[in-house]
A and B are shown apart, each in its own frame.
Chain A
Amino acid sequence: MNKYKLQKDKLQNFLEQLAERFAVYAPVEKNGITSFAELEPGQLPALDFLRTQKPPKDIFYPQTEVILKFDEDGTKSTEYTGKPIAVFGVRPCDAKGFVIVERVFVDKKYEDFYWAIRRKDSLVISIGCNEPLRSCFCNWVGGGPFDTTGSDVLATDTGTEYILQPVSEFGERVMAEIEKLEKATEKDIDKAKALQTKALASMPEPPALDSLKSSLDALFDDPFWDEVTAKCLGCAACTFSCPTCYCFDIQDESRRGKGVRIRIWDTCQFPLFTKEGSGHNPRKSQMSRLRQRYMHKFSYMVETQGEFGCVGCGRCVSSCPVNIDVREFIVEAIATARDKGVEA
């Protein structure tokens, strides 16, 4: 596939061309919070930071979405009817996050309508990470600062330009249709490759996680979990900031014969999440709830998806108010299982 070069001073023109056929989402800073939003005409994305505080999953899976409306005429669906969505400037970890959530929302049995409508004909242009943060650990979980999973185009930031490498045929087609986009030269491509190699080399060597799943399975009833949970507040900042957490609730709101059905992000960290009508709750303690989160990502999803349900973005590390670090948990779990001789 051809590679392209986009001068940074031509970015606005590039995004305007994309906006002719796509609703273009990119990182923005608003009220001191960084997140993804649809760009206003003429607005440039905020690209002077690595990852947004809020994960980009809300582009395809809004935090709150009205899915049905009820009134005297009956029930109507209120799905997204805008242009196909293009995401510009997502990081490789988050692009991989889309793939992991999609495996749940579009599985062999059921296709999640509201996710699928937004994902249809969408384009993902990611920007690789020249200088991964200290909280980043994509290379622990099968990713990397220039991993292409989930991207249609991967961009490398050389300082004054982006070298655009199409990953999918769709990405190639869209790039070919952008006017005034230069072809990248061998020299440009070499420059990009050097940056990619340097970025990966800058990340500390990851531990081997081959025995993580079997260690966790073996430790399920171990007091180890009480230590893991000891300082957890159950605030769920980790799940809401996670690009692969997808739990939701469905609630109705109504007044005087008119109402709406809303789908809203939920979290396995709250006791109400599993509390049944009878009052019974299968996950009564915070220990059982944090354990559920870690087991889901590092054991159950290995069974259902064949890989960890974590992309190593590090948001849970930086957003936790009591400094619980999932990397410390991973290392501790493997060591505990080994020391106790319980690892399967």
Chain B
Amino acid sequence: MSEQIKNIYYPVEAEVIRVIAETSTIKTWRFKLSEQMTFRAGQFVQLTIPGIGEAPFTPSSEPGTCDELDITILRAGRVTDNLHDNIKEGDLVGIRGPFGEGYPFDKFKGHNVLVVGGGVGLAPMRAGIYGLFQRIDDFKRVSIKFGARSPGDFCFTDEFDEWAKRPHTDVTLTIDRDSPGWTGRVGVVTVLLEDLDLDIADTYVISCGPDIMLKFVTLKLLEKGFDPYHIYLSMNRRMSCGLGKCHRCNIGPYYICKDGPDMCYGEIMNYPNVFG
């Protein structure tokens, strides 16, 4: 055992410098970190509200070495309710990480990348998308397909046009039920997978959203002929430690925290309860 043991449970201090309302239930917090952090697309951090609790989130800001970090959070439970209700500019929180492996972008080199996101799943996808943009010439095409319940449930809408102008990148949106003034597609996100103009054998997929969406996206992709080993799913599981110790997020012998959270579907498909 090493002489100096690093305390992986100790969060570094971070100050809230901005709070941005994204939708009625989603906000982005921008944190100024007291120590620089380097994270890869897909990796996550544990956010501490001192005395309230800790919860895992994938940053929504550009991956790399950073002094500031954005985390986009849906109001969904005890810790996130407390964030939404109480945490404002100037407040101090704690952040530890990054954890997980992140996306294997090197593997995607020379191929198309299909990005499929739903609901608040767009938040971690944004870090993934900026990670792809950092090396856009490595990929033949980046095709982004997002779904939300209604037009008001999309985050980062003011960025979609800019993304679509990037080299060989396209963005398509759909909403669950039609809404006045909506000009995009209608239906759950799998409708955008019906008429793909991509060479399926030459395409890798990254996807993030609720379990039920991941399930139907995966089924649709398999039906379309995708290789299970080309599908990377950002898995949802309850977590405590983030380090493969507390054991609540396992799928078979894998830990979503330590080995993921973006898991290759081909590797986990033979284990039970992948989609719960």
Binding site for B on A (CB under 8 A): 67-68, 70, 74-75, 77, 79, 104-107, 109-114, 116-117, 119-120, 220-221, 246-254, 257-261, 263, 266, 268, 273-278, 280-283, 288, 292, 295-296, 299-301, 303-304
B276 at the interface (CB under 8 A from A): yes
- Which listed residue, A79, A120, A277, touches B76 by the CB 8 Å rule? A277
* Nearest-neighbor residue (CB-CB) of A283 within chain B: B273
Known: A221-B272, A280-B236, A288-B273. 5 other contacts (CB 8 A): A70-B51, A104-B247, A250-B241, A274-B238, A282-B276
**B247 and A247 form a contact (CB under 8 A):** yes
Binding site for A on B (CB under 8 A): 1-2, 5-11, 13, 48-55, 76-77, 80, 92, 94, 210-211, 236-238, 240-241, 243-248, 250, 252-253, 258, 272-273, 276
CA distance A252 to B49 in the complex (A): 9
* Nearest-neighbor residue (CB-CB) of A300 within chain B: B253
Decide if the interface of chain B is mainly helix, strand, loop or mixed.
Answer: loop
- Which listed residue, A104, A114, A249, touches B9 by the CB 8 Å rule? A114
**B245 and A110 form a contact (CB under 8 A):** yes
CB-CB under 8 A from A278, the residues of chain B are 76, 210, 236
* Nearest-neighbor residue (CB-CB) of B236 within chain A: A276
**A277 and B50 form a contact (CB under 8 A):** no
26 interchain pairs (CB within 8 A)?
Answer: A68-B10, A75-B13, A75-B48, A79-B7, A104-B244, A104-B245, A104-B247, A110-B243, A110-B245, A111-B1, A111-B8, A112-B245, A113-B5, A113-B6, A113-B8, A114-B9, A220-B272, A246-B247, A250-B246, A254-B50, A280-B210, A280-B211, A280-B236, A282-B276, A283-B273, A295-B252
**B94 and A266 form a contact (CB under 8 A):** no
CB-CB under 8 A from A119, the residues of chain B are 1
**A111 and B2 form a contact (CB under 8 A):** yes
**Residue from A75, A263, A288, A303 whose CB has the most chain B CB atoms within 10 Å:** A75
CB-CB under 8 A from B276, the residues of chain A are 280-282
**B7 and A252 form a contact (CB under 8 A):** no
**A70 and B50 form a contact (CB under 8 A):** yes
Min CB distance A294 to B, Å, is 13
CB-CB under 8 A from B51, the residues of chain A are 70, 252-254, 257-260
**Residue from A110, A220, A292, A301 whose CB has the most chain B CB atoms within 10 Å:** A110
CB-CB under 8 A from B252, the residues of chain A are 295, 300, 303
CB-CB under 8 A from B50, the residues of chain A are 70, 75, 252, 254, 259
**B253 and A275 form a contact (CB under 8 A):** no
